[in-house]
Structure 1
Amino acid sequence: MTDLKNPANFSFPHAHLSDDEQHALLDLPTQWVRTDDELYELIDEIDSIDTVALDTEFIKRDTYYPILALVQVNTGKGIYLVDAPRLDLTEFWQALCEVPSMVWYACGEDLGIFYLLANNPPLTNVFDVQIGVAYLTGKLQVGYSQAVSEILGVVLDKGESQSNWLARPLTPEQELYAVNDVRYLLALHQAVVQALSDKQVLDYVNEDSTLYAKELYDTQHLSDDKLYLDHVAPTYTRQQLAVLRGLTMWRESLARAVNEPRSFIIGKQPLREIIESLPTSMKDLAYTTLNRSALRRYGAEIIRVIKEAKALPQADMPVKIPVYTSKAKPFRHALDEATDVQARLLNIPSNLLLKGRWINELMYHVYQGLPIDDTHALSKGLQGYRRAWVVGTVLPLLYEHEQSIRDGFDCGAKM
């Protein structure tokens, strides 16, 4: 039986490339894609293969919308640098949606751009190698260069990560960096898949990769009136929640209109200060850390939004969401033990089996007094391979502490 306490059981696999294999990868032809004809040739090649490795380079320093500068593609036959600003990529995105497997490494920001530009449904053909590495090592945030070094034995230079990717021509160093981001990705994917198959956990990684792609889609398509939920504090009153909702909706609409980051309008810290103090004059607003430029440009609008939100009828204000605020979690030790046992059975790291946000979700399930098997409203991550364990072990364990959980939520509701 696997011992999760022994880190040796969760470590990087070693599939170091031979000299011949390294030379073969270094000899992969590299081609820029700058014309429609070159793009269609690439699309035809993608249509003929089952697996493609991808990465993107983009700029998002002073704009709301990221500016896609480059898409790197490794088809196994060659490496392509797609000059995104010069091309209509509609058919390219469609071809990628239809390929059996798209391989990425830490695809969060990449898929955010993909969904923005392609306007496609949630992707179901994504394999995120970083998730696979996490299942093998127990480390959640292993970077690409570290994975390539540890698994393939290849050292990469990551010095160009903050480059101006819209510059043309790219410097030789930029181009090499961009190419290397996909040069080794198919080989890394193959090594990770083999190791996951040997441990009989590949299906879990496929499931979590698809889950991650769906979560990224949902985040990308969250309606403006729900954005305030990311900033809610347990102590906020319904009036404060109404102001928070109004400000986040106003900020989002303005950020899109002027194509500026949200933080250029109201950053996280001044937003918290505004919600806590509810200023009703420019003088009061000036006491917050809202930057002076934003105060001059948007101060009057911010005050207007605050006053309108405060004047809403109580029935139109957001309802307070119960939050578990008690530090006492008498079920914690038993839950940790149950998680370790199940993780051993599945041969996976315990920190991937039950995330903190899922525990909170299950506690809320108990607080609502819902039947144990009534899990249709739970997150997708609890509906897959985890569901039988959640229904058979976790929820019954939590229901043993139902009164304590109710008290923990009720304490937060009274704040």
Structure 2
Amino acid sequence: MTQTAYFNPPKPTIDTHALDQLPTRWVRTEDELYALIDEIDGIDKVALDTEFIKRTTYYPILALVQVNTGSTIYLVDAPRLDLTEFWQALAEIPTMIWYACGEDLGIFYLLAKCPPLDNVFDVQLAVAYLSGKLQTGYSQALSEILDINIDKGESQSNWLARPLSHEQEIYAANDVRYLLALYEVVCDELARRNILSCTQEDSRHYAHELHELATQNDDVLYIDLLVPIYNRRQIAALQQLTIWRETLARATNEPRSFIIGKQALREIIEQMPDSIKLLARTTLNRAVLRRHGDEIVRIIRQTNALPENALPPLPNPTYHSKAKPFKKPLDAALSEYSDTHRIPVNLLLKNRWLNHLLLLVAYDGDIDNLPRELLGYRKQLVCEKLLPVLTPFKEHILQVLNTPQITNNNH
């Protein structure tokens, strides 16, 4: 599919001197925090970033929150303070501006214990709407859009160190110093192209998705690790191992990958080893094998003993054929919509959304059960363009969905 090349607005003129002169203040005391909260209560938007450590722990350790209110940059010394009212103030402000907010909102939801946020605007997503590039980094966006260059050399430094070095302070402040200006420029261009509301909608969807990830129960975590070739007994083992791993990681406050990494977990599910000898043939870490091997084997044996009616259901089928007779007309419909509405084609339909559409066509599903992202501005595209293109291929889609995928295991 060809990406239309019209997503490069001219660089605006920015008063970088004024941005460089924004004062930076530390927030280390309750009085300083409440003064910041009062300031937040009186403005419409704020730019934010966080610094945290999560290399050897299950729970991220929040080290710093950077806040740009437009007049001042604040560095909030998170470990010193009770941030409960701070989170509440941010949740109530009309617009919270982040760049690549995935991990930041994960921490926000963990600590704030708040409902899904509706006031999030992710500038990285907005840049994608202008450029077609899905993962443009902050420094790259500043360089390409504002012609501002910042040093990212301190990204992996120790943010729990006190005092921070001069270089760390500059790095932390710069992460939000230019973010409001970048937001304004990007929003102006999006509004000029009449697609600002699309970006705002997708930012809200992303914030809700992150809330679901942060609050989901342990017994559904296995769903993200499912492979279409797994049978119901393997799925049961995956579910139980995932619950056990999550509980242990939380209790010991260590990353889940320290217990069983993705590759080793995949091997265990494929091989279903019911003895230490068989488990040792996987790539499971030897130290983990010694500490937890008996428990892993117990879970496999217990799963093997379950009656059929106690096994979890198979997931919805996925379209797995390399033959896609609907691809050309589908691509043409997406490209036409992209050209007409000036939205990058790769933002219109993700692969997982396509599978939902194929399932809907094959089984005469209810359109209102589609993912929320397809029921906003994309609903017109879905109803008027995509479903009419896919429906003639219903029999082919149904045949593929009902054809089991080939597996090399014997379980």
The bucket for the TM-score relative to the shorter chain is over 0.9
* 1:72-83 correspondence to structure 2 within 5 Å: 72-83=66-77
For residue 306 of structure 1, report the CA deviation from its aligned partner: 1.1
| Amino acid in structure 1 at the alignment position of 2:274 | T
| Cα distance in 2 for residues equivalent to 1:311 and 1:5 | 52
| Amino acid in structure 2 at the alignment position of 1:11 | N
Matched residues, number: 406
For residue 5 of structure 1, report the CA deviation from its aligned partner: 4.7
What secondary structure sits across from 2:56 in the alignment? coil
* 1:341 is the counterpart of 2:333: no
C-alpha change, 1:359 and 1:34, in structure 2 (3 Å) is same
Q: Deviations over 1:58-107 (max 9, x none)?
A: 00001011000000000001000000000000000000000000000010
| Cα distance in 2 for residues equivalent to 1:12 and 1:173 | 32
In the alignment, which residue of structure 2 is the partner of 1:352? 347
* 1:390 is the counterpart of 2:382: yes
In the alignment, which residue of structure 1 is the partner of 2:220? 226
| Cα distance in 2 for residues equivalent to 1:186 and 1:328 | 46
| Cα distance in 1 for residues equivalent to 2:284 and 2:25 | 47
* 1:131 is the counterpart of 2:128: no
Q: Deviations over 1:363-382 (max 9, x none)?
A: 12123222xxx222111100
* 1:290 is the counterpart of 2:284: yes
More deviation in 177-186 or 144-153?
A: 144-153
Match for residue 217 of structure 1 among 190, 200, 211: 211
For residue 413 of structure 1, report the CA deviation from its aligned partner: 6.1
C-alpha change, 1:238 and 1:6, in structure 2 (3 Å) is closer
Q: Deviations over 1:186-232 (max 9, x none)?
A: 00001001111111110100101111101111111222111111111
Provide the TM-score with structure 2 as the length reference: 0.96
For residue 36 of structure 1, report the CA deviation from its aligned partner: 0.4
| Cα distance in 1 for residues equivalent to 2:278 and 2:364 | 44
| Cα distance in 2 for residues equivalent to 1:60 and 1:5 | 37
In the alignment, which residue of structure 2 is the partner of 1:200? 194
* 1:189 is the counterpart of 2:186: no
- The runs of 5 or more residues in structure 1 that have no matched partner are none
In the alignment, which residue of structure 2 is the partner of 1:407? 399
In the alignment, which residue of structure 1 is the partner of 2:37? 43
| Cα distance in 1 for residues equivalent to 2:222 and 2:42 | 45
| Amino acid in structure 2 at the alignment position of 1:383 | L
Match for residue 325 of structure 1 among 320, 325, 339: 320
Match for residue 370 of structure 2 among 352, 369, 378: 378
| Cα distance in 1 for residues equivalent to 2:230 and 2:200 | 39
What secondary structure sits across from 2:135 in the alignment? coil
* 1:15 is the counterpart of 2:7: no
Contact 2:4-2:344 at 8 Å conserved across structures:
no
For residue 412 of structure 1, report the CA deviation from its aligned partner: 2.8
| Amino acid in structure 2 at the alignment position of 1:229 | I
* 1:139-154 correspondence to structure 2 within 5 Å: 139-154=133-148
- The runs of 5 or more residues in structure 2 that have no matched partner are none
C-alpha change, 1:6 and 1:380, in structure 2 (3 Å) is closer
In the alignment, which residue of structure 2 is the partner of 1:271? 265
Q: Deviations over 1:165-199 (max 9, x none)?
A: 00111111111000000000000001001111111
For residue 325 of structure 1, report the CA deviation from its aligned partner: 1.7
For residue 414 of structure 1, report the CA deviation from its aligned partner: 7.5
What secondary structure sits across from 1:376 in the alignment? helix
Contact 1:12-1:150 at 8 Å conserved across structures:
no
* 1:61 is the counterpart of 2:55: yes
For residue 12 of structure 1, report the CA deviation from its aligned partner: 4.8
For residue 283 of structure 1, report the CA deviation from its aligned partner: 1.1
* 1:361 is the counterpart of 2:356: yes
Contact 2:142-2:148 at 8 Å conserved across structures:
yes
Provide the TM-score with structure 1 as the length reference: 0.95
